[in-house]
């Protein structure tokens, strides 16, 4: 398997997943047509599927033009996104596998950012869309703090630590600066922030992360940290410090950061 990262729009990432044995490929979240089409042609692959993590326009914006070029494409998304994902042909509902050439992918339902949000898994890679970012999570547009906490920590978080996290937006530097503000004593955040600033200064992206790195630096996976709990208590003295209540306060602080 080969993954090609395709920067789109202002800060989105589409990802081309290539089965090297067959040269068939799938595209995760084609935000827009032109940059995706250029990479497809450069790579000389046969695109067989569009895999959408959720229905937002900045993740499905290229679907229709890709379908105009390749009318037989499968367009995969959660069954509850029926009518919201342009051109959708496959409605994930159970334990379907997703085939790209000889690659066999799986998926999990991750409500929180949207009700139909999903993560795709191929080999050691997870494509998390706007659910889990490096050092962050998506805004709660259609879900509760409890749902987002479960999606990130119990569902995605149950995969092996070395799982590569391919996220939907390049928000990492800002996310780490926020993470540092709510957990200033965390030396993993400090170290990663220095690395990320260096990467961004030289025009590079920060995807993928790993689940291990997220467990150490992502404030939405660190409700066990006494420093995070302290920050939450300062913001919201009556907070009961349940994982969902902690996520609610940290998410609200990030919304206003
Ligand atoms: Zn979104
Ligand atoms: Fe997005």
| Domain containing residue 160: CATH number | 3.60.15.10
Exposure letters 85-97 (e unless 16+ CB within 10 A, then b): bbbbebbbeeeee
Cβ < 5 A residues, ion ligand 2: 58, 130
State residue 37's pLDDT score: 98
Range of the domain at 209: 2-255
Phi, psi for 253 (deg, rounded to 5): -60, -40
State residue 58's pLDDT score: 98
Distance in Å, CA 181 to ligand 2 centroid: 24
Q: How far apart are CA 229 and CA 80, in angstroms?
A: 35
Active site residue 162: no
Residue of 58, 90, 109, 236 with catalytic role: 58
The DSSP output letter for 155 is I
State residue 5's pLDDT score: 98
State residue 126's pLDDT score: 99
Among all bound ligands, the one having the nearest atom to the CA of 56 is 1
State residue 51's pLDDT score: 99
Distance in Å, CA 131 to ligand 1 centroid: 8
Residue of 29, 55, 56, 149 with catalytic role: 56
State residue 96's pLDDT score: 97
CA triplet 3, 193, 11: central angle to 5 degrees? 45
State residue 165's pLDDT score: 99
Q: In what order do the strands lie in the sheet containing 90-92?
A: 2-8, 12-19, 24-28, 46-51, 74-78, 90-92
State residue 21's pLDDT score: 98
State residue 104's pLDDT score: 98
Among all bound ligands, the one having the nearest atom to the CA of 169 is 2
Overall number of domains in the chain:
1
Q: What is the three-class DSSP state of 191?
A: helix
Which secondary-structure segment (H or E) carries 177? helix 172-182
Angstrom distances, CA of residue 110 to CA of 55, 92, 187, 202, 242: 13, 12, 29, 33, 20
The answer to whether 76 and 50 are in contact (CB under 8 A) is yes
Distance in Å, CA 19 to ligand 1 centroid: 27
| Rounded percentage of the chain residues whose pLDDT exceeds 90 | 100
Predicted structure pTM score: 0.98
Q: Which of 25, 32, 109 is nearest to 63 (CA)?
A: 32
State residue 222's pLDDT score: 98
Active site residue 78: no
The answer to whether 98 and 128 are in contact (CB under 8 A) is no
Active site residue 90: no
Which residues in the chain come in under a pLDDT of 70? none
Could you tell me the two tokens for 139?
């805004």
State residue 12's pLDDT score: 98
Residue of 29, 150, 169, 223 with catalytic role: 169
Distance in Å, CA 113 to ligand 1 centroid: 7
Active site residue 59: yes
Active site residue 56: yes
Q: How far apart are CA 35 and CA 87, in angstroms?
A: 20
């Amino acid at each position: 398997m080969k993954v090609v990262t395709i920067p789109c729009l202002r800060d989105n990432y589409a990802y081309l997943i290539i089965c090297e044995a067959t040269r068939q490929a799938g595209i995760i979240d084609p935000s827009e047509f032109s940059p995706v089409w250029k990479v497809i042609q450069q790579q000389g692959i046969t695109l067989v599927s569009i895999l959408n993590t959720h229905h937002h326009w900045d993740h499905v914006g290229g679907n229709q033009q890709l379908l105009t070029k390749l009318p037989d494409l499968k367009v995969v998304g959660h069954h509850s996104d029926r009518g919201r994902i342009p051109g959708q042909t496959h409605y994930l509902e159970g334990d379907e596998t997703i085939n790209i050439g000889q690659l066999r992918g799986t998926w999990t339902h991750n409500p929180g950012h949207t009700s139909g949000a999903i993560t795709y898994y191929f080999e050691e890679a997870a494509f998390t869309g706007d659910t889990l970012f490096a050092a962050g999570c998506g805004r709660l547009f259609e879900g509760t703090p409890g749902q987002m906490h479960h999606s990130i920590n119990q569902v995605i978080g149950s995969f092996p630590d070395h799982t590569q996290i391919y996220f939907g937006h390049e928000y990492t530097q800002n996310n780490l600066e926020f993470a540092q503000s709510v957990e200033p004593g965390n030396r993993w955040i400090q170290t990663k922030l220095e690395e990320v600033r260096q990467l961004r200064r030289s025009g590079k992206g920060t995807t993928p992360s790993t689940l291990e790195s997220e467990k150490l630096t992502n404030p939405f996976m660190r409700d066990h940290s006494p420093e995070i709990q302290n920050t939450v208590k300062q913001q919201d003295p009556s907070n009961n410090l349940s994982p969902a209540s902690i996520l609610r306060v940290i998410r609200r602080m990030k919304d206003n950061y």
